Structure 1
Amino acid sequence: MRALTFGDVIDDVLVFPDGRIRPDTDTDAQIVRRPGGSAANTAAWMAAAGVQTTFVGRVGAFDVARHTALLSEVGVDARIVGDPDHETGTIVVLVDRDERTMLTDRGANAFVDPDEIGDALLGAVDVVHVTGYSLLSGHAEAVGRLVDRAHALGTKVSCTIGSAGSISDLGVDVALDALHGADILVANLDEGAMITGKQGAAAIGAALADLAPVVALTLGHTGVVVIDRGARQFVPSIPAQLVDPTGAGDAFTATFVAHVVGGVDPVNAARRGVEMAAIAVSVRGARPAPAAHAAAA
């Protein structure tokens, strides 16, 4: 099986304050720098799940070799373009137990154009994964064209809604138009409520099921609701030592999508997804360690 993800690749600056943040003075904190970006993270976790994965993205010109190497060492075929005019995207993530506050500079990510992904690559994979971040910066119509091209070539499309705040700013109708016809849809509770206008997992899940035949509605540390062509089932999460929730959603999504496209029924695919998410929250950073890829291989 082969997969393609494209879009955001980020330098994460993870901040773990030692107590309450005090304004206008110092607060002791542990600060960790890690590679990130939802699309790149998803590619890394797909590779960890044993999928041949290609990632297409854009960083500042001086960072091409570094980010290519970081993805290559976890088994991803990284096709990264250097932007001569814009720096690599950066996110400062303030981590407070299972909650995160993110300050985002998309940088070169804003110039990843879905129209530049050729049909030869799109038709050579089994699934192309789209994140909601790829819709930003005026690319929503191009993403819609990519979804149509993928389907015309016989390639499945999976998508995650991404940041509820960003999609709200973009416009829900714009996002839904771009992602029409997705085969697999993953959203968390806040994202699901935002794009459906519903409240409560049951109502949100039912509305999401009108958008895609296979849906995973993630409920944080509780678990996930899986809807497979109208049939609904809850899959509980797995207890794990919470170190850093960054990347847990990408780990679940990558594993869930990989197994569904690979022929596993969605409920069992979700079970494998929550297992991978439990691994993700137990370490700092949003991607698997290179050893995880070696074990999968």
Structure 2
Amino acid sequence: MSDGRTTIVVMGDVIDDILVQPLRPVEPDSDTPATITARPGGSAGNAAAWLGFLGAEVAFVGRVGAADAERHAALFRAAGVEPNLTIDPVLPTGAVVSIVEGQSRTMLTQRGANTGFDPASVTDELLARAAVLHLTGYTLFGAADHAQYRALFARARAHGVAISVDCGAASFLRGDGGRRFLDVVAGTTILFPNLDEGRALTGRGEPADVVRVLLNQFPVAALTLGAAGCLVARAGGEQVPIPAVPTAVVDTTGAGDAFAAGFLAEWVRSGSIGRAGSAGVEAAADCVGIIGGRPAERPLATG
């Protein structure tokens, strides 16, 4: 970035994921053989871990249950992420059971300690060294008081910090949900919707039309298109289509989080939305080739 700041501050959910891959069609009222894997997750936590994996300078702000604080802090540090975790003395860490069948996922969610997340835990000290503040729609959807988030966004802008938002889920964005979402995230620099989310927010069907409408409100839009890659654009500039990286799909959990991480890491380095989009689809391809929403381990340092 032009002012020399490179830290990406990610805020939002921490989740313990239980990933279930049935080995044959699920039989109601009976046992179904399955592969069951436990992984750390949460959309924001995943994005932070991918940023660390990609070598970005990243700090994470979230909330966990008291019994899990040291475990999750250690997981973030191992991923190259600076953890800033508050502890909920009553609620457990959030948890999700995901039933994964090919590219389809069914999720059963308990948000747990995430429901008590306080935007004020993103301190002015963190913002003073941040290039970007990144969050996901899941954090906003679970908030009872959006005024706290508006206050945080105002503080971020006062510090000269770009704001990026990953939309989260189309189901939350249809009808009044989309209007409320757009109102809360007004002033955001970069919006990351997938096609379903973009359609819910704009009422348009074609990707180019979705992006065109979004650019009336956001300086940068990065629309993910699954196996078709992504479409990125800056207000006043041309739309740039970027093809997906061919890969064998194992599990789509966290693909959008990895895309946002790849995009932001490159955008902070170069400011190029084209290069950022390419980095995003590469990270997403790496993600769908493994089980779970986070990279398994950091690459070895070179040089």
TM-score bin, normalised by smaller chain? over 0.9
* 8 Å Cα contact 1:122/1:155 also seen in 2: yes
Give the aligned partner of residue 290 of structure 1. 297
Give the aligned partner of residue 156 of structure 2. 150
Following TM superposition, by how much is the alpha carbon of 1:262 offset from its aligned partner in structure 2, in angstroms?
Answer: 2.3
Moved >6 Å (runs of 4+): none
For 1:139 and 1:103, locate their aligned partners in 2 and report how far apart those are by CA, in whole Å. 24
* 8 Å Cα contact 1:244/1:285 also seen in 2: yes
For 1:186 and 1:270, locate their aligned partners in 2 and report how far apart those are by CA, in whole Å. 11
For 1:291 and 1:130, locate their aligned partners in 2 and report how far apart those are by CA, in whole Å. 22
Structure 1: tracts of 5 or more residues without a match: none
* 8 Å Cα contact 2:61/2:121 also seen in 1: no
Change (3 A) 1:8 1:141: same
Q: Deviations over 1:23-75 (max 9, x none)?
A: 12121111111000011111111112211111011111000011111111010
Give the aligned partner of residue 284 of structure 2. 277
Please report the TM-score for the alignment, with normalisation by the length of structure 2: 0.93
- Among 164, 171, 179, the alignment partner of 2:177 is 171
For 1:120 and 1:209, locate their aligned partners in 2 and report how far apart those are by CA, in whole Å. 31
- Among 75, 87, 96, the alignment partner of 1:91 is 96
Following TM superposition, by how much is the alpha carbon of 1:177 offset from its aligned partner in structure 2, in angstroms?
Answer: 1.3
Give the aligned partner of residue 4 of structure 1. 9
Equivalent AA in structure 2 for residue 246 of structure 1: T
Show the 5 A alignment for 1:208-247. 208-229=214-235, 230-247=237-254
* 8 Å Cα contact 2:135/2:164 also seen in 1: yes
Equivalent AA in structure 1 for residue 196 of structure 2: D
Following TM superposition, by how much is the alpha carbon of 1:130 offset from its aligned partner in structure 2, in angstroms?
Answer: 1.5
* 8 Å Cα contact 2:208/2:239 also seen in 1: no
Equivalent AA in structure 2 for residue 21 of structure 1: V
Give the aligned partner of residue 16 of structure 1. 21
Equivalent AA in structure 1 for residue 234 of structure 2: D
Following TM superposition, by how much is the alpha carbon of 1:275 offset from its aligned partner in structure 2, in angstroms?
Answer: 1.0
* 2:213 alignment partner, SS class: helix
Please report the TM-score for the alignment, with normalisation by the length of structure 1: 0.95
Show the 5 A alignment for 1:111-126. 111-126=116-131
* 1:127 alignment partner, SS class: strand
Following TM superposition, by how much is the alpha carbon of 1:169 offset from its aligned partner in structure 2, in angstroms?
Answer: 8.6
Give the aligned partner of residue 127 of structure 1. 132
Equivalent AA in structure 1 for residue 258 of structure 2: A
Following TM superposition, by how much is the alpha carbon of 1:12 offset from its aligned partner in structure 2, in angstroms?
Answer: 0.5
2:257 corresponds to 1:250: yes
- Among 192, 205, 211, the alignment partner of 1:186 is 192
Give the aligned partner of residue 46 of structure 1. 51
* 8 Å Cα contact 1:140/1:174 also seen in 2: no
Equivalent AA in structure 1 for residue 267 of structure 2: V
Give the aligned partner of residue 71 of structure 2. 66
Q: Deviations over 1:214-247 (max 9, x none)?
A: 1110011111011122411210001112111111
Give the aligned partner of residue 29 of structure 1. 34
| Number of residue equivalences | 296
Structure 2: tracts of 5 or more residues without a match: 1-5
* 8 Å Cα contact 2:198/2:210 also seen in 1: yes
For 2:167 and 2:244, locate their aligned partners in 1 and report how far apart those are by CA, in whole Å. 21
* 8 Å Cα contact 1:181/1:212 also seen in 2: yes
Return 116-125 or 37-46, whichever deviates more: 116-125
Change (3 A) 1:38 1:204: same
* 2:108 alignment partner, SS class: strand
Equivalent AA in structure 2 for residue 15 of structure 1: V
Identity of aligned residues (%): 43
Change (3 A) 1:55 1:92: same
Give the aligned partner of residue 166 of structure 2. 160
Following TM superposition, by how much is the alpha carbon of 1:139 offset from its aligned partner in structure 2, in angstroms?
Answer: 3.9
Q: Deviations over 1:228-282 (max 9, x none)?
A: 2241121000111211111111111011012112224101111111111111111
Change (3 A) 1:291 1:119: closer
Equivalent AA in structure 1 for residue 293 of structure 2: A
